[in-house]
Structures are given as structure tokens and as C-alpha cells.
Amino acid sequence: MMNDYRKSFENCVEMEQVLDRFLRYSKVFTTSDPDSETFPSAARQLIFADQLAGELREIGLAEVTRDEFGYVTATLPSNVDHPVPVIGFISHMDTSPDYSGENVNPQVVKNYLGQNLVLNSEQKIVLSPADFPELLKYSGQDLITTDGKTLLGADDKAGLAEIITAMDFLIQHPEIKHGKIRICFTPDEEVGQGTKHFDVEKFKADFAYTLDGGEIGELEYENFNAAGAKILVKGRSVHPGSAKNQMINSMHVATQIIQALPADQRPEHTEGYEGFFHLTSFEGDVSSTKIEYIIRDHDLVKFEAKKNLMKEVCQLINFRYGQDTVLLEMHDQYYNMKQKVEPVKYIVDLAEQAMKDVGITPKIKAIRGGTDGAQLSWKGLPCPNIFAGGHNFHGPYEFVPVQSMQKAVEVIVRIAELVAKK
């Protein structure tokens, strides 16, 4: 059976569609806006959502909707006559505001052989194996890169292209048996709001997978516990000529907060399961300074300890300079999905088996970040994360191998087939 299954992919013209789809999607401006008070954060996401909904109807999916929040959902009906769990596949439509996502001009490098790739000679943007040794893993493959002026958007338009191509393939090949499949494309994942209006009850899936991971083989069901902290430091501005024992320079006070937090727990010094305090913003003058942090740890006990340390440091500064010198606003953002996925670990095993079946070595690891799947798992929809194939997200060095996207399509199809087996 598997030989026939693999052969159908190898000889299938439709597999080339994943490349064509990604090139089209990447050129659409869908950057989310972290400063917006609307949902979605940018109306351009609604325009893209309508385009995707139209394409889903064209390939023959049922129950295609785009709701007022920008969520696109659709159904591939079951083609088996026995009860089968309903599975979902999810990707996000927006791209990160960390780097320009407007006027994306993707470049296709055929048969990459390990050379330096000059993305932008004017700005001296070079994608080099010396800086990014993972490039050498893809010798002989086809790469999609930026032109050095924008990000690429493989996070997560590669996921969109893979899911739609897989659904198209299943529609065109009814001999591959599958149960009911639900798909959803979400807005605003990059600003942490991707599941804000996601209706788990209405989606009606027993479990799902986000296609939002990195390199080929990634399979993740652990992620950070996450919190955000905004700190306002109030100073006292006095003429510097008569400032002795009078001035409180809020910028200097803010640096004391920074220095009080452990330097070895910054992102640049951590890896694996090590959490961190990450200073993301510093803006101020003598009288007022605002700093922002994100706090991350996979271990819930260590996560709570990090938050408590942040509180204690701010209290110490207030003791030193006077009450209300420092105002701390801290809130949890998302939690580790492991607690919700482990009771149904078979869904991870299922994805692992699918990868092995299509010739991929699974790389099961913890996410040093978060996905929509983490929040969905806590909403009642267990949702591990599968690779979409890209590297170096959120910047001009981003790239994705075409063959990795093709393998992601195979994994989706194989998961559907495995679930449908009695």
C-alpha cells in the first residue's frame, strides 16, 4: 500500500503546486500590526482571507467561510463509511511586524550547491553557509529566498500552501481514504492574538496540527510558558546644575532593573529548555522611562519564579527610591501545551509515524516560542506543531527549501490516511 502511496506522489503533477501557491501567497502584504486596537490588526489580512476562501471553494472544499474576524475555515468531507476522528490543520495568514513584509519579491534558486547567495548587492545582504551552516543540508535542492529587502513569509505562508495543496491532492485522489478534515487559517498569530476569536466548539475537530514549525522533521508538543511585563519608571527632572540629592534619572533607575535580572538568563545565553528574561523595548528620558520584557520558561515552577523575581526587583527599586517610582504591569500570555497534549500523546505518535512513512526523520523537540496550537490546546483542542520547512524567520535571511514544503504535503496526507485506518 505504501509503495503505491509514495508512487502516487512521485508521479503527481499537483505536487508542484505547493511552490506556485507559496510564491503567490508570499507576495501578498499581510503584516500584522502590534499597535492596532482592531481585530484583525490590519484590514489587509481580510483581503487575503477572502482570496484564500475563494481558492478553497475552487478546489472543491465544503463549508468554506470567512467570518468577521478574518478566520477562514473549510471542510473536506470523509470518504470512508466507518467512524473516524475529525482532524484539523491550521496555519496563520499574517507575517511578522519585526521586518518589512511589503513588496516581497521571492527568489527561486534551483539546484543549490552550497554557494554564497547574494540577496542584495547594494545592501550587502548575503545568505552564506559560513553564517547559516544549515544551508548545506539542502545541497542539490531548490531554495526560495528573499531579495534581501523584506522577510519571505514562510512563517506561515508555507503552511498555508502545504495545507491547501494537501487538500487539493486528496480531492483529486479519492482512492486515498480519509475521514473528515477541518482546516483553519488564522489572523494575527504574530502579535499573539491568533486564537483570540477561534471558536473551538464550532470548529468541531477532535484534535489538530499547526503547520508552523521550522526545518523539515520538526514535531513539537512542548512550548514556553509566557508572560509579558511593562514597566514604567518615574523620575524627577531637576536642572543638572542644581541636581545633587534632588534628581532621579528614570533611565538610570531603569538600567538598575535590567542589571538586577540575571545576565545569564538572557536569550543570547540560553538554549534548549533554558528560559529567559528578554528586554524588548527601552524608551525614555530623565523624567519617565518605559521598558518591556517577555518572560519565558518551559517549566511552570521556574516560570513562576521568574515572574516573582521581576516583582521583587521592582519592589526593591521602590524601596530604594520611593513608592510608585516603578509601576509594573505583568500578565500571562500563553502556557506550555505539553500538559494538554500528553494525555492524548497518540496524536504526536501519529504525526511521528507519518513522517517516518514518507521518509523523514522526526525531530521531536520543545519549541522555544509559542504557536496558535499552544493556546488552542488550552482551549480544548489538542494541537501539536509540525514543520512548515522554513529557516531564519522574520528577516531578510529567511529561506525555505521547496522539497521540504513538498514533504510537509506528504505528511498531511499520510496523517489523514493513518487516522482513517480501522
Residues classed as catalytic: 94, 189
The CA-based angle 370-217-343, given to 5 degrees, is 55
Tell me the C-alpha distance between 309 and 294, whole Å. 13
Separation between Cα atoms, residue 317 and residue 4, nearest integer Å: 68
CA distance 188 to 34: 9
Identify whether the C-beta of residue 217 lies closer than 8 Å to the C-beta of residue 358. no
Instruction: Compute the distance between CA of residue 398 and CA of residue 385 in angstroms, rounded to an integer.
Output: 20
State the DSSP H helix or E strand holding residue 407, giving kind and residue range, or none if neither: helix 402-420
Contact of 130 with 65, CB cutoff 8 Å: no
Q: What is the C-alpha separation between 348 and 210, in angstroms, rounded?
A: 12
- Of 77, 387, 80, 64, the residue nearest 209 (C-alpha): 387
Among 163, 183, 186, residue whose Cα is nearest residue 62: 183
